[in-house]
Structure 1
Amino acid sequence: MKNLNGCVAVVTGVSHGKGIGAAICKKLAIEGADIFFTHLNADRDWIANFQASIEEHKVKCANVEIDLSESSTPAKLLDLVNLKLGSPTILVNNAAHSTRDGYMNLDAKILDDHYAVNMRATFLLSVEFARRIRHSQTAMGRIINLTSGQALGPMAGELAYSATKGAISAFTLSLSAELAPLGITVNAVNPGPTDTGWMNEEIKQELLPKFPFGRIGIPEDAARLVAFLASEEAQWITGQIFNSEGGFLRS
């Protein structure tokens, strides 16, 4: 029996095959959920092939290229999901904007660019999703945000990214209290350093000794936790920030 039969999941920020977003889509599809994913500036052939691979799990799948930095995007996106697949019951805010900065480079534009995607898009998508569930009186709703463990240690040279992603943790906790009476859970997942294609061999060798399990995190690690939080079994879990890092040692 698949845990998510009949559910429609929206996953943002799925633009390449090695990412956490792609792994989440695959895992949710395996569990029976129909998938709607967003992307930006992705290879068209990859998008078509990826959608086909999701549909191999006997679920429906649709996608859209959309700019989450635009303030009107959340309502447009959920309207499109409803048109293509029906009312969503699972929202995974995976999309993120990240550039290097540091105190010598940080300026208003860098801050605004990070805020628009990491904070505003996540916040507005979450509340619009919840409003629609309330009006439809759906029995279950799941919001799962991706964060990066900003409270566990500094991220030098990534001031705008760490600040805006850190805000997601605070938002998760407060929103969870508001939405619990509606049966909607709100949680966040920090997957720790994950090999999504950005790590060169030098970085891997530097990080590997810090993982007690003897390997670096992979996207499927995060996907398994997200799928659990999306399931009925996780109905009593809300307002939590899961630092699922494989025991990553920062010291």
Structure 2
Amino acid sequence: MKEEKKKYALVTGGSRGIGRAICVQLAKDLDYHILINYNSNASAAEETLQMVEEVGGNGELIQFNVIDGEQVKNVLENWHEDHPNDVIEVVVNNAGITKDGLFMWMPKEDWSKVIETSLNGFYHVTNALIQKLLVNKYGRIINMVSVSGQKGTPGQTNYSAAKGAVIGATKALAQEVAKRKVTVNAVAPGFIKTDMTEELNEQELKKMIPANRFGTAEEVAHAVSFLASSKSSYITGEVININGGIYS
């Protein structure tokens, strides 16, 4: 009897924050096994897996650093060898870091690290999987970007540059692969309550937001889940803003 093909959704940086919320939402809404990628925080990734299982989903952990192209390639190749009948249909490029500071005093390392994680990370993961998506003639690539990549945020020249570049890549790649039923979209959150925004003065900042509050990771995850589904098949090359009206 032929073993049934399992379908997977890979979420990079899936151990915490928005990544975690996406893993849980995909497990709730769609019939995918969730591949939770993490770099160093194994216990947080385990916690995410537990949450996926609690909502009735299945998942497994996959460790690699998106910055390290060789490592990404090797880990994904090994994964495919261990899962010869399975397919990764959804790729959520969520891994990202911030190293905020005024550009004038920004060390080269803070510039490079942010670009390497968001932009090169997108390249390493997507490039390692794109051929299989095209052969499969179906796929969903969802890139987590930011309002910073659209309007620019002072103190985040590096992050704005990285996310702006991923937006450009999203629009170009979408046109290359659309004939094969592979869509490529970006989701651009504004201020969302996560570990990443804990240091920010929410009381002060929410005055700038027409919705008068920070968003939740779950609100972002719902949009990602829709884009990961078959319902979104005529949407590609798009940037979905989730920012409470701060920028459109």
**TM (normalized to structure 2)?**
0.87
CA gap 1:110/1:210 in 2 versus in 1, 3 angstroms = closer
| C-alpha distance after superposition, 1:53-84 (max 9, x if no partner) | 21234432111232211121332342244335
Deviation of the 1:95 alpha carbon: 0.3
| C-alpha distance after superposition, 1:119-178 (max 9, x if no partner) | 1120232232211122xx324200000111235433122221111111000000000000
Q: 1:29, 1:127 → 2: CA distance?
A: 25
CA gap 1:220/1:88 in 2 versus in 1, 3 angstroms = same
Task: Report what 1:183 is aligned to.
Answer: 181
Counting only pairs closer than 5 Å after superposition, residues 137-152 of structure 1 correspond to structure 2 as 137-152=135-150
Q: 2:41, 2:101 → 1: CA distance?
A: 24
Counting only pairs closer than 5 Å after superposition, residues 92-171 of structure 1 correspond to structure 2 as 92-134=92-134, 137-171=135-169
Task: Report what 1:39 is aligned to.
Answer: 38
Deviation of the 1:202 alpha carbon: 6.5
Secondary structure of the equivalent of 2:72?
helix
State the AA in 2 paired with 1:41. S
Q: 1:210, 1:175 → 2: CA distance?
A: 34
Structure number having the greater strand percentage: 2
Q: 2:49, 2:243 → 1: CA distance?
A: 29
Checking the alignment, whether the CA contact within 8 Å between 2:72 and 2:124 is kept in structure 1 is yes
Checking the alignment, whether the CA contact within 8 Å between 2:191 and 2:197 is kept in structure 1 is no
Task: Report what 2:90 is aligned to.
Answer: 90
Checking the alignment, whether the CA contact within 8 Å between 2:46 and 2:61 is kept in structure 1 is no
CA gap 1:62/1:111 in 2 versus in 1, 3 angstroms = same
How many pairs align? Answer: 241
| C-alpha distance after superposition, 1:86-118 (max 9, x if no partner) | 210000000002102322322432332222211
Runs of 5+ consecutive residues of structure 2 not aligned to the other structure = none
Deviation of the 1:247 alpha carbon: 1.4
State the AA in 1 paired with 2:91. L
Task: Report what 1:66 is aligned to.
Answer: 64
State the AA in 1 paired with 2:195. G
**TM (normalized to structure 1)?**
0.87
Task: Report what 1:22 is aligned to.
Answer: 20
Secondary structure of the equivalent of 1:88?
strand
| C-alpha distance after superposition, 1:169-195 (max 9, x if no partner) | 000000000011111000000011101
CA gap 1:152/1:116 in 2 versus in 1, 3 angstroms = closer
Deviation of the 1:229 alpha carbon: 0.4
Task: Report what 1:194 is aligned to.
Answer: 192
State the AA in 1 paired with 2:127. V
Q: 2:76, 2:200 → 1: CA distance?
A: 41
CA gap 1:187/1:200 in 2 versus in 1, 3 angstroms = closer
Q: 1:88, 1:54 → 2: CA distance?
A: 17
State the AA in 1 paired with 2:218. E
1:11 aligns with 2:20: no
Q: 1:202, 1:21 → 2: CA distance?
A: 20
